[in-house]
Amino acid sequence: VALYEKLGQAEELKYAILHRDVIARFGRFPHRNPILGRTMTAEEAAYLAAGGFKG
């Protein structure tokens, strides 16, 4: 995030913040759970069902 802020790349910064926030909230990317064989938490499932981060 800091790098994109420093470079002034607004579009890339938007996605860097989104990625950072998903990791901060869940500790991982929930949309990857099925392919990695991980159990989905209720909070992750609700987030994705509501249109959350798709990757």
pLDDT tens by residue, 18-31: 999 999 999 999 99
- Centroid of chain to Cα 19: 4
- pLDDT classification of 55: cutoffs 50, 70, 90: low
DSSP, collapsed to helix, strand or coil, labels residue 21 as: helix
Rg of the chain taking only CA atoms, in angstroms: 13
Q: Does the pTM of the predicted model rise above 0.85?
A: no
pLDDT tens by residue, 32-46: 999 999 999 999 999
Q: What is the CATH number of domain 2-49?
A: 1.25.40.10
CA nearest 20: which of 43, 7, 8, 3? 3
Angle formed at CA 21 by CA 38 and CA 47, multiple of 5 degrees: 55
- pLDDT classification of 53: cutoffs 50, 70, 90: confident
